[in-house]
């Protein structure tokens, strides 16, 4: 059933309940998840962080790679998560924070399988937010605030021209090969060549640590290769390289948010 996010309404959804579950079946086909700057350090120890560009909106995003192919989440075996940290943008579901008029509002996926006759009520009999909903709203508020800082971080990285396209060349157990493109990462040489005042500016903004977290996270591509051993066609070999924009063959596949 298609996702259908609608504004959370205390009248319309007064009787709504959510099943409390530690499984993540809803993320089974999620190969990329938006990453928030407050979780970069935790994510970088488990999974790769890369930049992608929404060409139509002309905006860059930081995402964590959960798989090498669209529709593939290598961190899920059944419904269980393989790893110590789950991205906040996975944990927030079935809620989201989106523009609602001139402010941000809480939205919910009315078609979510987590909506159940038995579970945590979202509202009390008096129409007030339940303790469960209050906790989720605080989480969503923290996520929204972190994402605003993340956008400022991305804008600064783009302004300083620190991004370069990268390409992953994969060879699978059955001998097939494919390239994964459409991603960017921090160019360490460009970072080291920045004037001292720019480095100080990044440090004072709290962005320098985030930059190094992104750079170090690329090593977690090997983690994805390891996790692919549980699939029908494991990755046998991986090669990461920087590429010029014009050098990317037209038949290569790009990640999609």
Helices (H), 160-241: 188-192, 196-204, 208-217, 221-227
Contact of 81 with 33, CB cutoff 8 Å: no
Q: Is the pLDDT of residue 58 over 90?
A: no
The length of the chain in residues reads: 257
Q: What is the mean pLDDT of residues 212-226?
A: 96
Which pLDDT value is given to residue 253? 52
DSSP class of residue 79 equals T
* C-alpha to C-alpha distances, 256 to 55, 81, 166, nearest whole angstrom: 11, 22, 15
Residue 150 and residue 39 in contact, taking contact as beta carbons nearer than 8 Å: no
Query: What's the pTM value of the predicted model, to 2 decimals?
Result: 0.88
Whether residue 102 is predicted with pLDDT greater than 90 in this model: the reply is: no
Is 189 in contact with 164 (CB distance < 8 Å)? Answer: no
Which has the closest alpha carbon to 104: 147, 152, 141? 141
d(CA 224, CA 217): 12
pLDDT digit string, tens, across residues 168-205 = 999 999 999 999 999 999 999 999 999 999 999 999 99
């Amino acid at each position: 059933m298609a996702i259908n996010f609608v504004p959370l309404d205390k009248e319309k959804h007064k009787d709504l309940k959510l099943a409390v579950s530690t499984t993540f079946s809803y993320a089974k086909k999620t190969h990329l998840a938006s990453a928030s700057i407050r979780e970069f350090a935790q994510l970088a120890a488990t999974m790769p962080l890369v930049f992608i560009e929404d060409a139509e909106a002309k905006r860059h995003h930081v995402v964590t790679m959960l798989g090498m192919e669209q529709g593939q989440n290598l961190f899920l075996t059944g419904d269980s998560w393989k790893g110590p940290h789950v991205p906040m943008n996975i944990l927030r579901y079935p809620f989201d924070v989106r523009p609602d008029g001139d402010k941000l509002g809480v939205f919910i996926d009315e078609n979510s399988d987590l909506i159940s006759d038995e579970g945590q009520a979202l509202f009390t009999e008096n129409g007030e937010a339940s303790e469960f909903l209050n906790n989720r709203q605080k989480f969503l508020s923290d996520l929204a605030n972190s994402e605003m800082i993340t956008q400022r971080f991305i804008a600064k990285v783009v302004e300083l021209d620190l991004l370069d396209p990268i390409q992953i060349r994969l060879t699978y157990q059955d001998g097939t090969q494919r390239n994964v493109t459409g991603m960017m990462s921090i160019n360490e040489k460009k970072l080291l060549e920045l004037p001292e005042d720019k480095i100080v500016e990044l440090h004072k903004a709290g962005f320098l640590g985030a930059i190094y977290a992104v750079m170090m996270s690329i090593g977690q591509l090997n983690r994805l290769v390891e996790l692919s051993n549980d699939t029908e066609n494991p990755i046998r070999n991986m090669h990461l390289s920087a590429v010029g924009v014009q050098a990317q063959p037209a038949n290569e596949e790009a990640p999609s948010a």
